[in-house]
A and B are shown apart, each in its own frame.
Chain A
């Protein structure tokens, strides 16, 4: 065997994109100084869980972590995928954290990916599983992913401290992604959503819905928010409630927002935002605030919301050798980081042009021509 040339990186930032791109491009990476200065140095539990997930999906991958966990050596293998896989995502981050890289990985796998993910389904930090169903999947269709195979079933919901949720995910494989010209935002024609409650009263869900509708009603009559009341085994291990909203436009764009209210996670993270204090925010306020968040996302413009910017850029960069053109609202920090990682790994740069009249940004890129190499030929 020859010597392996590692791409050297630092810090735990953008771990997901780095590992994902390294796997897709099959470049070995060496990440150093991972949380080196913290009181508890080394990889966080969710990062380790992510590595385990990558190991599960790929064949012949090599992961080495030093004793303190501050240095990671990752040599990617061939993405295999497959069905009957189970992964426990732990309780330090929600399933949404794992889903974002998992979707892209699944598209370029050898076999159709069918996996059961266990952990926290709804969280305030990561996009909830409802959002994936309502917004992310339509986004993928834009890039030529067949809609038949895409499936995400929420078997049970689990919220923050103890989790206990379970989702079944199925992702088809593609030969390659097609480029898209997607600059038409359209106008919002309907708003849909889902409010869920786990181990709390149904009434809280209705309150959220009522409050959110109160805001939307001035702008749009076509608002429908379903309520999802979970109990017993379907409700996970802890109590909480949340809402996810999605605005559909006339040109088929989906703009989403979601949040969850639940008790914070033990002593590990003190510096979480103010909303997660000992007593929870009243449901009516949650509904109202989230409706405002959605309206703000709509105000920003763009064909996707700020949460999906990173994914959108990744998809554009992984297209065949054609020009993709997309319009987004203000670039989010995550989006910018993703752009940088794409440049470093895939050698794809975007042309970024502001459109000052609408306050949006238009990005153009020449796809990297990624092909699914692991798919078997007949």
Chain B
């Protein structure tokens, strides 16, 4: 022992428990309590159930509670890296929102943030990134923020109490799927009286609980120290954020969306010059969330409209998670953050270039030269004075001088933005621009040396980047070589452009791994790839023609139709020529028949060798061979194909032995393999499920429950039920998906499933109204949401609506309201109705006071069960509650019959036995109404 401790160098200090003070008191109290409980336990019979009925009731209640806790498990289809979680900081003005973000950012990254504009992405842990957004205070901004928030921090001024904004935001959150919410009380230093403070905290907490649920977290920030929140409290808050789990919300898991953290106008400048109000082209950058985004998806930019994507590209992550190496905590280098709208963050990845932003304070100028340069330019001061100045002043004088002499290259913004160019996909325009910059640098004599330092560095960066790329390529090559064996076997079996010599060459390559073999390997790989997608190409044609039909969309105009009519008379040949543009090329009017077998060309199935050839497809045949056929799929395509001529080749022992294996106990082994594979998937699923479950039940109460024998059994029984099975199925499906998608190469995978969630995307959108650029405000986050199937259409929707209880007035039919459904916000005129007992929808002029009613309105459709929120007025200067009603979509309908009860008053002018003619019922004179009086039997 002594030796060991000596080897360690130091022995750890033993824990010394407290003997006095608050925590010691607490402990003794707890101990006493424990003893008390122990005493109680000494006579357990005394606390057993006396009455049978009561026991039953209690038991059923416990079971019911258990069931109520359960939710239908939802499949989480986000594979791979998660996008950063969005933390929306919301609160009334002057409550300390930006300060909270600043202190949190400072806590995570040790950087001071000058001002909060736009989303700020930070790496908060080894597995976790966060994106802080400040919620603007107008209702539109709040609605948008509620749609992308994963966690909402509701800031409340403790000295003032709750304000309307908090409740409005809570209601908005509730309608658009309820993300996690945490309250934060600020301004608590304004209380002088401790008792009053305690009381207020209590009151606010309970009010908060009634709004959300009992036990909702309300955090207290006690006050400001040096204009910042206390470090310890911010640390605690960060801990709360870091352990928070975010349940998937149904709308978001079925729609892709982006919170835009970088936004650029890429309209050609000539066009803007010609007409400053022309439609613009913009690029939007952000992490993809929700679900996968396919290339053809249309998107809705909140507050702007629906657009089809002109281009989507996946960029490398500007704020990547640290590498997976095992270590404690984050290193300083990995504490990245990215906030392009705030003008901070180090790297900017564009489609074809990388910008490096270097803060001024980090740029090392060669000071002596600079000083000399500046002094030379200025009116030749005294050398001594200069010296003194340089000694006295640390930073600012230099800066001033720099500004005066216009040395600073990028005087407009506080950062240096420089472009480092990658070798491959360089735009020519970019190249040119960098060239120009370089030339400009050379022309500038005064700051030449200064620049050179920077240039050097950028060059280095360039090199390092390109170097890494090369190495990547190498890796790929290596991989391809490894893979080649299987590929090349495939080829030899299926079609055989490659001779046996190739195979041997490859073998030698594997041994030697020379430089020469590299090109060959890539060639082979390319060939094999071609082989793989051959069938796909046959079916889908070349990738360029993928959207040949979808691009041919036309706007429906009456003129268009006419012009078509004009073209009706055409020479026959020309028409035919036109028709051969399509993919099939052939006849476009082929008959639509699913049956394709021709009865005429048939084998003679009476012959023995013919029918014996499919003997193994029947249960009367060889079962092992039949099984082999079915299991072949995975093993075969990945490894090698058993084929006749392959056996003859004497390529290597390894192959042969493998071959023997297959032939001897092929079927059984394959079956085993398959079973093993399945078991593996199941195991993975189980593990994932266990993880999820374990994380969920980490709270201490449940652990103590587990210690209790009876409860443990009950929960066990419950777990193995239907709910568990469902969960297992979902996990299994997820594992299958991952397994199936992972063995595709990158491009095909992209085509099949689209861009994965968590990717940093660059969306290009054309023809956006110029107002979006003109009124762009980085403090208003932009939300881009993908439009689901059938959601781009417009029509009538029926919703179940309830006036909000805090809105003062009832709502009137056909009064325009602004609704927020799905990603959209739009104004519409609802017609209110109520369903009578006989199923008739009777129109209501006003909504009921405290009841639900139906509201019918026209607009872009949203799927049933989508939440709807209505406001009447977007202006900020309303004292009252701004949300007027909440609703959800029942169905959409072409026509719903809503009937209206009317009362017509007139004078009878002719009266018959059972009929009367009534006058003056309508304002126009000519109308009469014949009325048949019904006789009521009493």
A interface residues with partner B (beta carbon < 8 Å)? 1-16, 25-26, 28, 30, 32-38, 59-60, 66, 68, 71, 77-78, 97, 100, 110, 124-127, 179, 181, 183-189, 215, 218-221, 250-251, 257, 259, 273-275, 289-293, 295-299, 301, 306-311, 321-323, 325, 327, 331-334, 336-337, 339-340, 343-344, 347, 349-358, 361-362, 364-366, 368-371, 373-377
Q: In the assembly, what is the distance between CA of A186 and CA of B618, in Å?
A: 9
Chain A nearest CB from B546 CB (Å) reads 7
Judge whether A295 and B596 touch: CB under 8 Å.
Answer: no
Q: In the assembly, what is the distance between CA of A219 and CA of B686, in Å?
A: 43
Q: In the assembly, what is the distance between CA of A321 and CA of B861, in Å?
A: 21
- Cβ–Cβ < 8 Å partners of A292 in chain B: 602-605
Judge whether A323 and B536 touch: CB under 8 Å.
Answer: no
- If A7-B549, A187-B617 touch, whether A38 touches B589 (CB-CB below 8 Å) is yes
**10 closest A-B pairs by CB:** A11-B588, A60-B894, A347-B296, A366-B753, A352-B535, A59-B894, A323-B740, A376-B891, A377-B864, A8-B552
Judge whether A306 and B615 touch: CB under 8 Å.
Answer: no
Q: In the assembly, what is the distance between CA of A370 and CA of B254, in Å?
A: 10
- Cβ–Cβ < 8 Å partners of A350 in chain B: 536, 539, 752
Judge whether A273 and B632 touch: CB under 8 Å.
Answer: no
Q: Is B555 an interface residue (CB 8 A)?
A: yes
Q: Is B556 an interface residue (CB 8 A)?
A: yes
> Which among B160-168, B619-627, B695-703 touches the partner chain?
B619-627
Q: Is B751 an interface residue (CB 8 A)?
A: yes
Chain A nearest CB from B71 CB (Å) reads 17
Chain B nearest CB from A324 CB (Å) reads 9
- Cβ–Cβ < 8 Å partners of A9 in chain B: 549
**Residue-wise interface mask of B (551-583) relative to A, using a CB-CB cutoff of 8 A (1 in contact, 0 not):** 011111100000011001000100110110011
Contacts A6-B556, A183-B633 supplied; 5 other A-B pairs, CB < 8 Å: A4-B556, A68-B568, A125-B593, A357-B632, A366-B753
Judge whether A3 and B863 touch: CB under 8 Å.
Answer: no
- Cβ–Cβ < 8 Å partners of A299 in chain B: 613-614, 617
Chain B nearest CB from A357 CB (Å) reads 5
- If A183-B630, A291-B605, A306-B596 touch, whether A13 touches B614 (CB-CB below 8 Å) is no
* The one of B572, B629, B789, B893 that contacts A371, using a Cβ cutoff of 8 Å: B789
B interface residues with partner A (beta carbon < 8 Å)? 75, 77, 254, 291-292, 294-297, 490, 493-494, 532, 535-536, 538-540, 546, 549-550, 552-557, 564-565, 568, 572, 575-576, 578-579, 582-584, 587-590, 592-600, 602-606, 611, 613-621, 623, 626, 629-630, 632-633, 636-637, 641-643, 733, 736-737, 740-741, 744, 748, 751-754, 788-790, 793-795, 861, 863-865, 888-895
Judge whether B596 and A5 touch: CB under 8 Å.
Answer: no
- If A183-B630, A323-B737 touch, whether A8 touches B554 (CB-CB below 8 Å) is yes
Q: In the assembly, what is the distance between CA of A149 and CA of B300, in Å?
A: 38
Judge whether B619 and A187 touch: CB under 8 Å.
Answer: yes
- Cβ–Cβ < 8 Å partners of B549 in chain A: 7-9, 344
Chain B nearest CB from A318 CB (Å) reads 10
Judge whether B602 and A289 touch: CB under 8 Å.
Answer: yes
Chain A nearest CB from B321 CB (Å) reads 25
Q: In the assembly, what is the distance between CA of A373 and CA of B790, in Å?
A: 8
- Cβ–Cβ < 8 Å partners of B593 in chain A: 125-126, 334
Judge whether B602 and A334 touch: CB under 8 Å.
Answer: no
Q: In the assembly, what is the distance between CA of A55 and CA of B578, in Å?
A: 31
Judge whether B588 and A12 touch: CB under 8 Å.
Answer: yes
Judge whether B641 and A357 touch: CB under 8 Å.
Answer: yes
From B601, which residue of chain A is reached at the shortest CB distance? Answer: A296
Judge whether A273 and B600 touch: CB under 8 Å.
Answer: yes
- Cβ–Cβ < 8 Å partners of B77 in chain A: 321-322
* The one of B540, B556, B632 that contacts A349, using a Cβ cutoff of 8 Å: B540
- If A179-B733, A219-B620 touch, whether A340 touches B539 (CB-CB below 8 Å) is yes
Judge whether A10 and B540 touch: CB under 8 Å.
Answer: no
- Cβ–Cβ < 8 Å partners of A127 in chain B: 594-595
Judge whether B632 and A340 touch: CB under 8 Å.
Answer: no
Q: In the assembly, what is the distance between CA of A178 and CA of B630, in Å?
A: 23
Judge whether A332 and B596 touch: CB under 8 Å.
Answer: yes
From A11, which residue of chain B is reached at the shortest CB distance? Answer: B588
* The one of B555, B557, B565, B602 that contacts A293, using a Cβ cutoff of 8 Å: B602
- If A26-B793, A293-B597, A323-B736 touch, whether A11 touches B630 (CB-CB below 8 Å) is no
Q: In the assembly, what is the distance between CA of A289 and CA of B603, in Å?
A: 10
Judge whether A5 and B556 touch: CB under 8 Å.
Answer: yes
- If A9-B549, A357-B641 touch, whether A16 touches B592 (CB-CB below 8 Å) is yes
Chain B nearest CB from A143 CB (Å) reads 14
- If A60-B895, A310-B594 touch, whether A273 touches B642 (CB-CB below 8 Å) is no
- Cβ–Cβ < 8 Å partners of A362 in chain B: 633, 637
- Cβ–Cβ < 8 Å partners of A293 in chain B: 597, 599, 602
- Cβ–Cβ < 8 Å partners of B641 in chain A: 356-357
* The one of A8, A325, A327, A340 that contacts B740, using a Cβ cutoff of 8 Å: A325
Q: In the assembly, what is the distance between CA of A293 and CA of B557, in Å?
A: 51
Judge whether B575 and A36 touch: CB under 8 Å.
Answer: yes
* The one of A11, A77, A186, A251 that contacts B589, using a Cβ cutoff of 8 Å: A11
- Cβ–Cβ < 8 Å partners of A309 in chain B: 594
